[in-house]
Amino acid sequence: MKWTDLDENWCPVARTLSLVGDRWTLLILRDCFLGMSKFDEFATSTGATRHIVSDRLKRLVEAEILEKVAYSERPKRFEYKLTDKGNEFGPALMTFRDWGKKHLPVRRPTHA
Amino acid sequence: MKWTDLDENWCPVARTLSLVGDRWTLLILRDCFLGMSKFDEFATSTGATRHIVSDRLKRLVEAEILEKVAYSERPKRFEYKLTDKGNEFGPALMTFRDWGKKHLPVRRPTHA
DNA sequence: TCCATAAAGTTCTTATTTGGAACTTGCTGC
DNA sequence: GCAGCAAGTTCCAAATAAGAACTTTATGGA
């Protein structure tokens, strides 16, 4: 079964997962909430390959979770901004954050 | 980059994703909250292959999100129960559910 | 002029994960 | 002793992801 097949599933959790249910997508969204908006920022911050970043941003724009807006003509440069729909996903990431903070503490500190 | 490399990441969202950040894992957890507990229930309900179900359950048990308990000796049969740690993940699934209900309505009704 | 750098992607090849189906094991009941 | 169930495992083919290099459009020097 392909995960895009979940998009008409009876369960709203499954439908949500069909769209954002993979780690790279969710990490990119986290970065959006941290204020990032550019392609290379996402690539560097998440550690995903440029290929993946490209693919996931495309999906997110298609789903109207992000909006692609030009911040420079010549050379054409774009940034990605959360739409209202995207912003409303914030609480979900906060539950992930809280659960992670409580149940998955870091053993060895990471230096920034 | 492999997603298990995220488990010591500075970001609690990333650490959470390293553990549960894929659609099958999250669907299995959804099923647990719906009261399911057996291998075949997960396989049927999620549509994941038995291979995947086996792998994900192993991970979840290892992470102490689920607990594998025998409900029958001879033949040995097991069920998977949410631990306290697992139960506390409930709010995350609820935010997914709520977001899905609001932003991803089903177009054509699925007949149960 | 020529070279370096930057952003935002795309392309390529190789490795890893999935998908799908069949097989296994230990028992129960007919 | 054959069929069926539950809980997996094994196998191979197909899909996805990883990693690095390349492209395009433009700016800032030396």
Q: Copy the structure tokens of residue B60.
A: 């979840």
Percent of chain B with pLDDT over 90: 81
Say which residue the tokens 């290379």 belong to: A40
Q: Do B93 and A5 touch (CB under 8 A)?
A: no
Are B85 and B65 contacting, i.e. CB atoms less than 8 angstroms apart? yes
Domain membership flag for residue A112 = no
Domain membership flag for residue A7 = yes
- What values do phi and psi take at B52, rounded to 5? -65, -45
Domain membership flag for residue B9 = no
**DSSP β-bridge partners for residue B80:** B68
Q: How many CB atoms lie within 10 A of CB A32?
A: 23
- CA B61/CA A29 separation, integer angstroms: 28
Domains in chain A, number: 1
Q: For residue range B19-71, what is the model confidence (pLDDT) as tens digits? A: 999 999 999 999 999 999 999 999 999 999 999 999 999 999 999 999 999 99
The stretch A84-96 carries a mean pLDDT of: 97
CA distance A43 to chain B (A): 11
Q: In which band, very low, low, confident or very high, does the pLDDT at A109 lie, cut at 50, 70 and 90?
A: low
pLDDT at position A5 = 77
Chain A residues touching B100 at Cβ < 8 A: 11-16
Cα dist from B31 to A33, A71, B37, B42, B52, whole Å: 29, 44, 8, 7, 15
CATH code for the domain in which residue B97 is found: 1.10.10.10
Q: How many CB atoms lie within 10 A of CB A52?
A: 19
- CA A25/CA B65 separation, integer angstroms: 23
Q: In which band, very low, low, confident or very high, does the pLDDT at B103 lie, cut at 50, 70 and 90?
A: very high
Chain A residues touching B103 at Cβ < 8 A: 85, 88
Q: Copy the structure tokens of residue B66.
A: 């689920």
Domain membership flag for residue B46 = yes
The SS3 of residue A82 is strand
Q: Which bases along strand D come within 7 Å of a protein CB atom?
A: 5-11, 15-21, 24-27
- The secondary structure element, H or E, covering residue B80 is strand B77-82
The stretch A56-64 carries a mean pLDDT of: 96
- CA B33/CA A40 separation, integer angstroms: 38
Look at residue B112 and tell me whether its pLDDT is greater than 50.
Answer: no
CA distance A77 to chain B (A): 27
Would you tell me which residues 36-65 of chain A have a C-beta closer than 8 angstroms to some C-beta of chain B? Answer: 47-48
Domain membership flag for residue A108 = no
Domain membership flag for residue A52 = yes
Domain membership flag for residue A10 = yes
pLDDT at position A108 = 60
- CA B29/CA B57 separation, integer angstroms: 10
| A70 contacts chain B (CB < 8 A) | no
Look at residue A87 and tell me whether its pLDDT is greater than 70.
Answer: yes
Say which residue the tokens 């997603």 belong to: B3
Owning domain of residue B60: 24-103
pLDDT at position A112 = 47
- CA A50/CA B90 separation, integer angstroms: 33
